[in-house]
A and B are shown apart, each in its own frame.
Chain A
Amino acid sequence: MSISLQTAPFDPGALLTRFSAGRTNAGAVVSFTGIARADQGAQTRLELEAYPGFTETEIGKIADQATDRFSLHDLVIVHRVGVIAPGEAIVFVAAMATHRREAFEAADFLMDYLKSRAPFWKKEIGSDGEKWIEPTARDRADVARWD
């Protein structure tokens, strides 16, 4: 299991290749890449803040839950912090299991958690000012599916 926060951009394809390499006993890898959006061409950028130490620990707890719940062989989570430009990857999650269903569900579960319950704070900075983003009703409903 690997959980990391980083300020530098990453290449999701390279992460997936490395994660999948040399595995012979797992039949399924599902990955998700979240990309910073710029709605209607707006020149917005995101600023992601974490609580160093605490954030990784809290994500670790949910990753342990995912491993048990979906019988995962392995998982990887990479999350950006700091300033993220539109089009850059902000989060990468991959889950490996014997069969596809568990891998799909684990990736979904982990992303729902990361979106609204992991210790991150996200600010959108655009030409018309700055705005802290809070989870939407949809985000809350998504994560509640797993409770």
Chain B
Amino acid sequence: MAKVLLFGALHDVAGWRTRDIDAANLQALTALLSSEDPALGEALAGKGVQVAVDRVIVRGDVALGPATEVAFLPPMSGG
């Protein structure tokens, strides 16, 4: 079970902030989220959305362990 976290506009699109989801890798996880909520799928594929796995920004696919934290990070804006 990966712990999935959505930030910023993404949790408004999805209607949730955190969920436990069973997926072997990041690609499978994203595909699962997109198939059950196409609007979220589109938002996750949006420009500037980054993914952090166990708090490290990753690119491409990665394997997910049983307690992996996967965070989807839309474009950042502070200050």
Contact = CB atoms under 8 A, between A and B. Distances in A.
Given A51-B71, A53-B55, A54-B55, A117 B76 contact: yes
B79 A51 contact: no
A118 B50 CA distance: 12
Interface residues on B, range: 10 to 19
A48 B8 CA distance: 9
Contact of B73 (A51, A57, A90, A122): A51
Contact of B79 (A54, A111, A132): A111
A49 B55 contact: no
A113 to B, nearest CB: 9
B5 A120 contact: no
A114 B79 contact: yes
Interface string A94-132: 000000000000000001001111111111000000101
Interface residues of A, number: 27
16 contacts: A51-B52, A51-B73, A53-B55, A54-B52, A57-B55, A91-B78, A111-B79, A119-B73, A120-B79, A121-B8, A132-B12, A132-B77, A134-B48, A134-B75, A134-B77, A139-B77
Given A90-B79, A134-B48, 7 more contacts: A49-B8, A54-B52, A79-B78, A114-B78, A118-B79, A120-B79, A121-B9
